[in-house]
Amino acid sequence: MDVVRIQGGRALHGSITVSGAKNACLPIFAAALLTEETVTIDNVPELSDVHTMGKLLTHLGADVKQLDPHTWQITAKKITHFAPHKLVSQMRASVVLLGPLLGRLRKAVVSQPGGCNFGPRPIDLHIKGFKSMGCTVRMKRGYLHLDGSNMKGAELFLGGRQGSTVTGTANMVMAATLVRGITRIDSSACEPEIEDLCRLLVAMGARIDGIGTHVLTIEGVDRLHGARHRVIPDRIEAGTWIVAAAITRGDITVHGANSKHLSAFLDKLDESGLSVLTEGPETLRINATNLKLRPVDIITLPHPGYPTDLQAQMCALLAVTPGLSIITERIYPNRFMYVSELQRMGADIAIEGPSAIIKGRSRLSGAMVMASDLRASAALILAGLHANDETWVLQKLLVLWDFHSRAHAGQRATLSRW
Ligand code: EPZ
């Protein structure tokens, strides 16, 4: 059990450079399985999930090297098709191995990825897409057995009850790059992370049209070659730093943030009274020193809608914004586990179905709270930065936010092992 201890109540000042995007990097690592040649990836974030993906690729037979803290090299000369439970269960994103294994080997045996703390994480749309391409799929003792020996290009529809599927789109695109024929994916996810993956695949020789839209068309080729790729900035990390400046009434400059990836989020902040200044192509300035925020109504949606991964962070900010705000979660209706922890800090929030009704208070108080997932951890740390006293955020897997060494902040968030 790790703990992040925060002595809050002071404004954050300083500058920070955003890491590479976790949710782009993980499918990009998996895409390296599609070629025997070397793929070099720059701007890789230093995260446990990245190391877990590296271990998985190594287990499959790839040669995986970390050249420096943010540069990795993957050469998958000869690979096998079996991904074991002990590794897959550590990270739900392991599901993105299915596409490249089917593209390269036409078969895959991968442990069924589990759920997470905010509810079930089904993969029925992934399976539906593979079956549309001619795959057979069997479930046996918790493992998915996929046989793609008869795969060919197909028309797919990836829309589900909550819109498209991000990792499902990644899987279909990666498989289709090496499958004979044309694959048209209707209701594709168009998150920036999917765009980034497609750009790497094109650099590797894939033929993809419609990048950045909800319809992707892929013409299969015989083989892909190596490439070098720089991962896009992490828009969720950038948004979280912006909330950190707002909730502490601080003044932060965020470098390496692409404001075009955050339009819905920045629009909501603007509606609430916080205008984030663009000081360069990838530089945002948040001066919240005299900020008076207004309550807002947010609905999370697939991109380009408001991102669900910035829902908890915004809830923490609205919990200390006078007035009545509402957040409705359309992607993961149970993604409010952290609210009970915010309530222990004095937040006045009621959950009504998929919505959080937030009555903003002037101040939260510190407490010992438990984080349930990555973004919940961030929300609780943000609330701790706002509270005047000390907050301990306990979590199984530590989310490293080392303010004092990264943001030269006026206050310190120190880490101590429990
Ligand atoms: C990706 O998860 C992200 N993870 C998530 O970020 C993010 O919250 C999510 O997309 C939505 O933007 C990675 O990219 C590694 P989905 P993913 O498939 O692909 C339903 C974080 O904190 N669905 O787009 O697993 C599903 O239940 C993580 O970084 C089906 O019904 O999400 C959800 O309601 C959390 N059937 C919705 O679609 C399926 O087969 C979106 O899921 C697949 C999904």
Q: In this structure, what token pair is assigned to residue 196? A: 């980034």
Instruction: Check pocket membership of 93 for ligand 1, CB cut-off 6 A.
Output: yes
Residue with tokens 């991109």: 303
Token output for 239: 């948004």
Ligand 1: residue of 96, 98, 121 to mutate (most ligand atoms within 8 A of CB) is: 121
Q: Return the CATH superfamily for domain 22-230.
A: Enolpyruvate transferase domain (3.65.10.10)
Q: pLDDT tens digit string along 49-74?
A: 999 999 999 999 999 999 999 999 99
Strand partners for 182: 219
- The answer to whether the CB of 300 is under 6 A from ligand 1 is no
Strand partners, 63: 75
Q: Enumerate the H helices of 248-365 as residue ranges.
A: 263-272, 311-318, 339-344
116 catalytic residue (yes or no): yes
Residue nearest to atom 13 of ligand 1 (CA): 23
CB 320 less than 6 A from any atom of ligand 1 = no
**Ligand 1 atom 14: residue of nearest CA:** 23
Q: Which mutation among 47, 167, 306 tests ligand 1's pocket best, with the greatest number of atoms within 8 A of CB?
A: 167
Q: Which of 192, 333, 199 is nearest to 265 (CA)?
A: 192
CATH 3.65.10.10 in the chain, residue ranges: 3-18+233-408, 22-230
Q: How far is the CA of 332 from the centre of ligand 1 (A)?
A: 8
Q: Count of residues for the chain? A: 418
Beta bridge partners of 3: 394, 416
- Cα 223 to Cα 206: distance, rounded to the nearest angstrom: 8
Q: Which CATH number fits domain 3-18+233-408: 2.40.100.10, 3.65.10.10, 3.40.190.10, 3.10.129.10?
A: 3.65.10.10
pLDDT of residue 90: 86
- Specify the ligand 1 atom closest to the Cα of 96: 15
Nearest CA to ligand 1 atom 26: 121
Percent of the chain with pLDDT over 90: 86
Which one is catalytic: 116, 135, 198, 315?
A: 116
The counts of H helices and E strands in the chain are 13, 24
pLDDT in single tens digits along all 418 residues of the chain: 689 999 999 999 999 999 999 999 999 999 999 999 999 999 999 999 999 999 999 999 999 999 999 999 999 999 999 999 998 988 889 999 999 999 999 999 999 876 667 777 889 999 999 999 999 999 999 999 999 999 999 999 999 999 999 999 999 999 999 999 999 999 999 999 999 999 999 999 999 999 999 999 999 999 999 999 999 999 999 999 999 999 999 999 999 999 999 999 999 999 999 989 998 889 999 999 999 999 999 999 999 999 999 999 999 999 999 999 999 999 998 899 999 999 999 999 999 999 999 999 988 999 999 998 899 999 999 999 999 999 999 986 444 444 444 444 444 443 333 2
C-alpha–C-alpha distance, residues 265 and 270, integer Å? 9
- How many CB atoms are closer than 10 A to CB 335? 26
Q: How far apart are CA 210 and CA 213, in angstroms?
A: 5
For a mutational test of ligand 1's pocket, the pick from 25, 95, 165, 310, i.e. the residue with the most ligand atoms closer than 8 A to its C-beta, is: 165
Model pTM score: 0.94
- Report whether 413 contacts 404 (CB < 8 A): yes
